[in-house]
Amino acid sequence: MTHEFDSIIAIADELEISRQALNRKAKRLNIDLSKKSFTDTEWKLLASTKRKPKQSTLSNYVDTFTAQQLQLIAEQRLTETNKTLIAYQEKENQPKKGFWRRLYGLPL
């Protein structure tokens, strides 16, 4: 059985795609659109090859978001460690009280 059409626009309308998309698809599948009649196998090829939605874009966003979260966590930990180190160094730099000052609680 053959599928016959009057124009390329009629073919595109039947497949519910644009004329440009039809031309690209026919070129990719090596189908001649100028004859305007197609065998069952050619028609199935034209009708069945649908574009798959891009899932990679969504996964790229998820990967980017996860990487940003991990980077933020690492920066927060680094900041916390720096604050702890600064507090420890300040404590170490204070002069230590001698034995008698600690015993009697005398100020420096």
Question: Number of structural domains, the chain?
Answer: 2
- Report CA-CA distances (Å) from 49 to 43, 52, 86: 10, 9, 64
Judged by DSSP in three states, 46 sits in helix
CB atoms within 10 A of CB 38: 22
pLDDT tens for 6-62 read 888 888 888 888 888 888 888 888 888 888 778 888 888 888 766 555 667 778 888
Q: Where residue 68 falls among pLDDT bands split at 50, 70, 90?
A: very high
Instruction: Report pTM.
Output: 0.43
Same domain, 67 and 37: no
- The strand pairing partners of 2, in sequence order, are 39
Task: Answer whether residue 99 is part of any domain.
Answer: no
Residue range(s) defining the domain that contains residue 69 = 55-94
- Could you tell me if residue 42 is inside a domain? yes
Mark whether 9 and 40 lie in a shared domain.
yes
Q: Report d(CA 106, CA 102) in Å as an integer.
A: 7
104 falls within a domain: no
- Which tokens belong to 78? 């680094």
42 and 25 Cβ atoms separated by less than 8 Å: no
Q: Do 44 and 62 fall within a single domain?
A: no
